[in-house]
């Protein structure tokens, strides 16, 4: 029932995104940096869960160094979107609540800083700048139909009031 692998007894597929120290699966945070550990795997094993599969995408060359702020999400969903974009390129990231906003931790609202290891800073900046430029276009285009719809609803409301007023006069 033993695996036919290389027989390395030490199973340490987790790594700290800050100092790149390796940890076994039983650990969740780096003892030195208190950072959440990311899964880097040992190379060839199959991903066990979706989270492991995501973490497997992390490229080792982007691990290590101090964490630096590379972007900001205006809420949890946006922060996770940015983290997803980074991970697609193999870049591990950590999100932290932006200082100065007094929102309880369990709320999804409130801005977050996105931090990446300094080794991945340059590529992350480039990646996020490109993405921001491209995503602006569909947003601007989507604004016009919405405005038309709002105008139409207001017109309908006015028409309804007029019909009601006329019916009141007729009686």
Residues near Zn ion (CB under 5 A) are: 16, 18-19, 30, 32-33
Q: Is 110 left (phi over 0), alpha (psi -120 to 50) or beta?
A: left
Residues 6 or more apart whose Cβ sits within 8 Å of residue 97: 103, 105, 110, 111, 112, 113
Give whichever of 29 and 101 is closer to Zn ion, judged by the CB atom.
29
Give whichever of 11 and 33 is closer to Zn ion, judged by the CB atom.
33
Distance of closest approach, residue 61 Cβ to Zn ion, in angstroms: 17
**Closest CA relative to residue 147, chosen from 137, 155, 157:** 155
Distance of closest approach, residue 15 Cβ to Zn ion, in angstroms: 9
* Whole-angstrom distance, CA of residue 92 vs CA of residue 63: 7
Distance of closest approach, residue 22 Cβ to Zn ion, in angstroms: 10
Q: Which helix (H) or strand (E) holds 79?
A: helix 76-88
* Whole-angstrom distance, CA of residue 158 vs CA of residue 139: 29
Give whichever of 30 and 127 is closer to Zn ion, judged by the CB atom.
30
Distance of closest approach, residue 144 Cβ to Zn ion, in angstroms: 49
Give whichever of 15 and 114 is closer to Zn ion, judged by the CB atom.
15
* Contact (Cβ atoms closer than 8 angstroms) between residue 71 and residue 114: yes
Distance of closest approach, residue 16 Cβ to Zn ion, in angstroms: 3
Give whichever of 18 and 93 is closer to Zn ion, judged by the CB atom.
18
């Amino acid at each position: 029932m033993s695996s036919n692998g290389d027989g390395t007894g030490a199973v340490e597929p987790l790594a700290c995104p800050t100092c790149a120290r390796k940890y076994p699966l039983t650990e969740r945070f780096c003892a030195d940096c208190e950072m959440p550990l990311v899964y880097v795997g040992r190379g060839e094993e199959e991903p066990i869960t979706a989270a492991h599969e995501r973490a497997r995408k992390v490229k080792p060359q982007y691990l290590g160094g101090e964490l630096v702020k590379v972007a900001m999400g205006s809420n949890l969903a946006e922060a996770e979107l940015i983290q997803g974009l980074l991970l697609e390129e193999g870049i591990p990231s950590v999100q932290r609540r932006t200082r100065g906003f007094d929102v309880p931790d369990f709320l999804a609202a409130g801005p977050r800083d996105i931090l990446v290891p300094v080794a991945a800073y340059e590529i992350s900046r480039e990646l996020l700048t490109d993405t921001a430029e491209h995503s602006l276009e569909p947003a601007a285009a989507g604004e016009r139909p919405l405005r038309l719809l709002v105008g139409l609803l207001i017109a309908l409301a006015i028409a309804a009031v007029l019909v009601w007023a006329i019916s009141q006069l007729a009686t």
